[in-house]
């Protein structure tokens, strides 16, 4: 009997080996996409915070130049001269600074000459009674805010809000429910993972002392559901 010849090395992959390789590539691709998305989300948060800090500084300088008064909203001036345009000369890259990089409506807001950011109406809109008469002093001055470090000046606009220059402020006095808050602002603007769950993610907030803070949406929701209006001015009854 003749001895068997040595078998040659097989070339190519078996089906099992091919499936394993494909699975590994899929996992690595997923991890890579998640890492890229996380980096993008973080860069949006940082850039947005930088924009708000620039706006905060511009507001303070504007107030110093205008008898200690902040810029006007569309309640007291025309839409094309509302607050963000009053700050234009105080902001470096105005077109970039007035838009949040995570705003899905960024192009539309740029086209409409509006902003991704909204003023707190409890600070910037004069209080009126049922007949439209002044119901107390306006709070649109740094000197009239008892606790600047706890007073929010600027919010990030909701997707369906502030698409036009005249839509430049919140309606904070109506924030009796989470749904009312979501009509004005986007507490989940950053790191959004589900469009159906608005309590995920976070947003940046500009305070009257110039500080910018990122707050998780679920913390804002908890406060609202407890009857605590995050837009309220500490030490002021309104």
Please state the domain extents for the chain.
15-225
Taking a C-beta distance cutoff of 8 angstroms, is the pair 231, 205 a contact?
Answer: no
Percentage of the chain with pLDDT > 90? Answer: 60
3-state helix, strand, coil in the chain (%, to 5): 40, 10, 45
The predicted pLDDT at position 87 comes to 95
User: What does pTM read for this prediction?
Assistant: 0.81
User: Is the Cα torsion angle 84, 114, 196, 33 positive or negative in sign?
Assistant: negative
* CA nearest to 220, candidates 184, 173, 188, 193: 188
Taking a C-beta distance cutoff of 8 angstroms, is the pair 171, 157 a contact?
Answer: no
- DSSP conformation class of 221: H
Q: Whole-angstrom Cα distance, residue 176 to residue 231?
A: 11
More confident residue, 38 or 228: 228
Q: Provide the pLDDT confidence category of residue 217 given band limits of 50, 70 and 90.
A: very high
């Amino acid at each position: 009997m003749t001895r068997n010849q040595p078998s040659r090395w097989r070339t190519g992959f078996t089906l099992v080996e091919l499936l394993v390789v494909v699975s590994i590539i899929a996992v690595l691709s997923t991890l890579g996409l998640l890492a890229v998305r996380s980096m993008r989300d973080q860069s949006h948060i940082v850039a947005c915070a930088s924009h708000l800090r620039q706006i905060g500084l511009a507001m303070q300088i504007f107030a110093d130049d205008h008898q200690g008064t902040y810029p006007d909203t569309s309640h007291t001036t025309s839409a094309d001269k509302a607050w963000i345009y009053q700050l234009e000369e105080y902001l470096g890259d105005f077109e970039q600074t007035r838009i949040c990089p995570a705003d899905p409506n960024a192009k539309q807001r740029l086209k409409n000459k509006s902003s991704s950011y909204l003023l707190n109406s409890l600070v910037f809109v004069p209080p009126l009674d049922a007949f439209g008469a002044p119901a107390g002093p306006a709070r649109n001055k740094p000197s009239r805010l008892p606790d600047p470090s706890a007073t929010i000046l600027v919010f990030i606009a909701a997707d369906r809000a502030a698409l036009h220059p005249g839509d430049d402020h919140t309606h904070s006095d109506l924030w009796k429910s989470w749904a009312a808050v979501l009509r004005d602002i986007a507490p989940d603007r950053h790191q959004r993972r589900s469009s159906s769950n608005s309590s995920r993610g976070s947003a940046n907030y500009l305070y009257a002392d110039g500080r910018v803070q990122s707050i998780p949406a679920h913390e804002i929701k908890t406060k609202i559901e407890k009857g605590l209006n995050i837009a309220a001015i500490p030490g002021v009854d309104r």
